[in-house]
Amino acid sequence: MRSKVSRNTVIPLAAALTVFGLGAIAVWLIAAQQLHAVLSDQKNYVVQKISLEFRHRDELLQDFAERANQGCSDKLLEEMRRALFDHNSTRDIAILDDGANEIRCTALLGALERPALLQPEAGLPTPKEGRIVWMNPAGLDYPHSTNLVVFREGPLAVISYPAWTGDLPDYRRWEVTATTPNSGTKVTVLGQSGVSGDYQWSRWNPFVSLLYVRSCELENGIICLYLNAGLGELAANEWPLLVTGNLVNATMAVLLFLQVRTHLLLRNSVGSRIRRSIRSGGVQFRCVYQPIIDLRSDRLSGCEVLARYEDEYGPLSPAEFIPEVERQQLTWAFTEIVLSRALKDLEPILDRHPELNVSVNFFPGDLDDVHVERLSTNPSLRWAASRKFRLCFEILETGILSADHMQKVQRFLDRCGFLTAIDDFGTGYSNISQVRDSHINLIKIDRSFVQELDRKLPAMRASLVGPMIEIARSINVEVVAEGIETETQLSQIKELKVRFGQGFFLSRPLETDAFRDFAQADRNNAPQTVVSMKRS
Ligand SMILES: Nc1nc2c(ncn2[C@@H]2O[C@@H]3COP(=O)(O)O[C@H]4[C@@H](O)[C@H](n5cnc6c(=O)[nH]c(N)nc65)O[C@@H]4COP(=O)(O)O[C@H]3[C@H]2O)c(=O)[nH]1
440 assigned to some structural domain: yes
Q: Is the CB of 300 under 6 A from ligand 1?
A: no
- Does the pTM surpass 0.95? The reply is no
Q: Is the CB of 324 under 6 A from ligand 1?
A: no
Closest protein CA for atom 3 of ligand 1: 483
What is the mean pLDDT of the segment spanning 307-318?
A: 93
Q: Are residues 172 and 321 in the same domain?
A: no
pLDDT at 527 over 70: no
Q: Are residues 220 and 289 in the same domain?
A: no
Q: Are residues 165 and 307 in the same domain?
A: no
List residues bridging with 227 in a β-sheet.
174, 213
Are β-strands 285-294 and 314-316 bridged in parallel, bridged antiparallel, or unpaired?
A: unpaired
Going from the Cα of 111 to the center of ligand 1, the distance in angstroms, rounded, reads 118
Q: Are residues 353 and 495 in the same domain?
A: yes
Of 4, 3, 22, the closest CA to residue 256 belongs to 22
220 assigned to some structural domain: yes
Task: State the pLDDT at residue 535.
Answer: 32
Q: Are residues 224 and 315 in the same domain?
A: no
Residue 429 burial (C-beta neighbours within 10 Å; 0-12, 13-18, 19+): exposed
Q: Is the CB of 485 under 6 A from ligand 1?
A: yes
Q: Are residues 188 and 295 in the same domain?
A: no
Going from the Cα of 431 to the center of ligand 1, the distance in angstroms, rounded, reads 24
Q: Are residues 198 and 57 in the same domain?
A: yes
Q: Each residue of 10-67: pLDDT tens digit? A: 999 999 999 999 999 999 999 999 999 999 999 998 888 888 888 888 888 888 988 8
Q: Note whether 266 and 5 are within 8 A (CB).
A: no
- Among the three residues 161, 194, 228, which one is the final residue of a domain in this structure? 228
Q: Each residue of 199-221: pLDDT tens digit? A: 999 988 888 899 999 999 887 77
Q: Are residues 33 and 144 in the same domain?
A: yes
List residues bridging with 151 in a β-sheet.
133, 158
Task: State the pLDDT at residue 5.
Answer: 57
- Among the three residues 228, 248, 266, which one is the final residue of a domain in this structure? 228
Task: State the pLDDT at residue 206.
Answer: 82
Confidence of residue 168 (pLDDT cuts 50, 70, 90): confident
- Among the three residues 228, 245, 267, which one is the final residue of a domain in this structure? 228
Here the CATH number for the domain that contains residue 397 is: 3.20.20.450
Calculate Rg over the CA atoms of the chain: 50
400 assigned to some structural domain: yes
Separation of alpha carbons 505 and 492, rounded Å:
13
pLDDT at 252 over 90: yes
Q: Each residue of 86-109: pLDDT tens digit? A: 887 788 999 998 777 889 999 988
Per DSSP (E only), the strands in 370-483 are 390-396, 419-425, 442-445, 478-481
Of 425, 354, 420, the closest CA to residue 384 belongs to 354
Q: Tally the domains of the chain.
A: 2
Does this complex have an ipTM over 0.90?
yes
List residues bridging with 390 in a β-sheet.
357
Separation of alpha carbons 298 and 294, rounded Å:
5
242 assigned to some structural domain: no
pLDDT at 400 over 90: no
Q: Is the CB of 229 under 6 A from ligand 1?
A: no
Structural domain including 51 reads 2-228
Of 527, 526, 523, 532, the closest CA to residue 355 belongs to 523
Confidence of residue 2 (pLDDT cuts 50, 70, 90): very low
Q: Return the half-sphere exposure (C-beta side, CA atoms, 13 A cut-off) of residue 434.
A: 14
Q: Which amino acid is it at 373?
A: E
Closest protein CA for atom 28 of ligand 1: 361
Q: Are residues 207 and 96 in the same domain?
A: yes
276 assigned to some structural domain: no
308 assigned to some structural domain: yes
Q: Are residues 37 and 170 in the same domain?
A: yes
Q: Are residues 215 and 302 in the same domain?
A: no
263 assigned to some structural domain: no
535 assigned to some structural domain: no
Going from the Cα of 507 to the center of ligand 1, the distance in angstroms, rounded, reads 13
Q: Beta-carbon neighbour count of residue 511 at 10 Å?
A: 18
Q: Each residue of 405-420: pLDDT tens digit? A: 777 888 889 889 999 9
pLDDT at 529 over 50: no
Residue 160 burial (C-beta neighbours within 10 Å; 0-12, 13-18, 19+): buried
Q: Are residues 23 and 89 in the same domain?
A: yes
Task: State the pLDDT at residue 453.
Answer: 78
Q: What average pLDDT does the structure give for the chain?
A: 86
Q: Is the CB of 424 under 6 A from ligand 1?
A: yes
Q: Is the CB of 222 under 6 A from ligand 1?
A: no
Task: State the pLDDT at residue 91.
Answer: 87
Q: Give me the sign of the Cα torsion angle 459, 460, 466, 472.
A: negative
